[in-house]
């Protein structure tokens, strides 16, 4: 009697229990892979934003869990801009706030005439005339979500501003943002002389090692500020750390739930098949083969749960993208490594869950098993 034949028959015989067990594992794996994709998406979007601007390093206040760092005095920015090796700088003040019918929109402001403005491609209208004009440019995605066009008015930062232009950006973050000048933002948000980001562009001869040394010098001379190279900034961002922490917590929870679910299923299976296992022992099956059968069943449940969880993760991502407030601002990037890691993790959970039931089944005495009948 072939092992695979018995294993497949046992799983198919109790279809409802098998399906519910696989579904339980899949839901946990869906949460794990979705959070992994969210963390990767945020990192890539952040890096994409800085690369689009031509930024080599970013300075912000050290934060604890806030997606947007708190403001700090821009007098520090003047000092940093004068450091050797820095070619250009751009001060930024950003905030997440409700705008009209949207619950959360990124409203950002840039220092007038800084290099940050150079990468934008204006597709409709114009840029602000100067740094004091009470006007806003909308990213193409933001314009679609807000249903605004050039010439419309928009209530933001506590006042009405005119939409003077619509721009395109290779950065998804910027495409979904409202852009005003720094002076206007500071004057209407009680942040006079304050910023929460500073973008730096190094001189051409500054290599990565020297750039990192400049960042360390900034942190040493300005207590409470964090400076990172553009390609490393996402790793230090509080949102990335928060999402990775959530991923770890959900992974541990998924492991606990998965272990309990599969172990319960396999123990019930062993109990219901007491006579069958006794017969197998009586006709010459070794204890090792019995253990192998139970472990194989548990492992297959884990593999199936992992695969289904990955598919549910992709489905959940596409459903979230249908929501306008999410689809235009958040990316869930599920890579091949995340898929393989999730399936491997689910497989390990299934195998571990089957250890105790397998040992219990292999120790079953045929005589006792027949008396159970």
Q: What are phi and psi of 129, to 5 degrees?
A: -65, -40
d(CA 269, CA 189): 64
* pLDDT for position 335: 86
Domain definitions of the chain by residue range: 3-44+240-372, 63-223
Q: Which residues of 206-216 are buried (b: 16+ CB within 10 A; e: fewer)?
A: beeeebeebbe
Does position 110 have pLDDT exceeding 70, yes or no?
Answer: yes
- Tens digit of each residue's pLDDT (9 = 90 or more) over 150-161: 999 999 988 899
pLDDT value of position 186: 92
Which is it for strands 102-110 and 177-181: parallel, antiparallel or unpaired?
parallel
Using pLDDT thresholds of 50, 70 and 90, give the confidence band for residue 63: low
Decide if pLDDT at 11 tops 80: no
Average pLDDT over residues 97-113: 87
Quote the mean pLDDT of the chain.
83
Q: For 71-133, what is the HEC assignment?
A: CEECHHHHHHHCCCCEEEEEEEEEEEEEECCEEEEEEEEECCCCHHHHHCEEEEECCCCCCCC
Six-digit token string for 320: 């979230």
Q: Which residues, 6+ apart, have CB-to-CB distance to 289 below 8 Å?
A: 3
- Whether 156 contacts 97, CB under 8 Å: yes
124 contacts 165 by C-beta, under 8 angstroms: yes
End-to-end Cα spacing for the chain: 22
Percent of the chain residues past pLDDT 90, beyond the cut: 25
Write down the pLDDT at residue 164: 94
Q: In residues, how long is the chain? A: 373
The residue that leads in pLDDT, 64 or 332, is 332
pLDDT tens, position by position, 201-243: 999 888 889 999 999 999 999 888 888 888 776 565 555 666 6
Q: Would you tell me how many other CB atoms lie within 10 Å of the CB of residue 97?
A: 17
Whether the predicted model's global pTM rises above the 0.75 cut: no
3-state secondary structure of 229: strand
Give the orientation angle of helix 238-272 with respect to helix 287-321, to 10 degrees.
Answer: 140
């Amino acid at each position: 009697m072939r092992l695979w034949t018995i294993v497949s028959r046992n799983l198919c015989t109790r279809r409802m229990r098998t399906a519910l067990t696989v579904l339980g594992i899949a839901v946990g794996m869906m949460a794990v892979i979705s959070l992994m994709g969210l963390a990767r998406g945020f990192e890539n979007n952040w890096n994409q934003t800085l690369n689009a601007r031509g930024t080599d390093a970013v300075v912000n206040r050290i934060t604890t869990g806030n997606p947007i760092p708190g403001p700090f005095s821009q007098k520090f920015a003047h000092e940093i801009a004068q450091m050797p090796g820095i070619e250009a700088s751009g001060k930024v003040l950003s905030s997440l706030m409700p705008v009209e019918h949207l619950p959360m929109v990124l409203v950002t402001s840039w220092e007038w005439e800084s290099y940050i403005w150079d990468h934008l491609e204006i597709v409709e209208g114009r840029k602000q005339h100067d740094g004091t004009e009470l006007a806003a440019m909308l990213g193409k995605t933001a314009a679609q979500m807000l249903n605004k066009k050039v010439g419309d008015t928009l209530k933001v930062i506590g006042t009405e501003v005119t939409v003077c232009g619509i721009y395109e950006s290779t950065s998804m973050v910027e495409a979904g943002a409202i852009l005003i000048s720094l002076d206007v933002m500071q004057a209407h948000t009680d942040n006079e002389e304050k910023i929460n980001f500073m973008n730096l562009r190094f001189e051409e001869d500054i290599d990565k090692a020297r750039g990192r040394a400049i960042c360390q010098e900034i942190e040493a001379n300005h207590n409470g500020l964090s400076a990172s190279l553009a390609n490393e900034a996402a790793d230090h961002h509080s949102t990335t750390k928060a999402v990775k922490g959530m991923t770890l917590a959900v992974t541990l929870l998924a492991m606990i739930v998965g272990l309990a679910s599969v172990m319960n299923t396999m123990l019930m299976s062993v109990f219901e098949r007491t006579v069958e296992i006794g017969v197998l022992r009586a006709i010459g099956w070794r204890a090792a083969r019995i253990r192998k059968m139970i472990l194989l069943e548990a492992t297959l449940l884990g593999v199936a749960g992992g695969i289904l969880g990955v598919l549910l993760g992709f489905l959940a991502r596409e459903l979230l993208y249908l929501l306008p407030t999410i689809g235009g601002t958040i990316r869930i990037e599920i890579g091949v490594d995340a898929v393989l890691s999730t399936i491997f993790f689910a497989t390990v959970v299934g195998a571990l869950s089957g250890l105790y039931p397998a040992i219990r089944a292999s120790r079953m005495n045929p005589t006792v098993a027949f008396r159970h009948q």
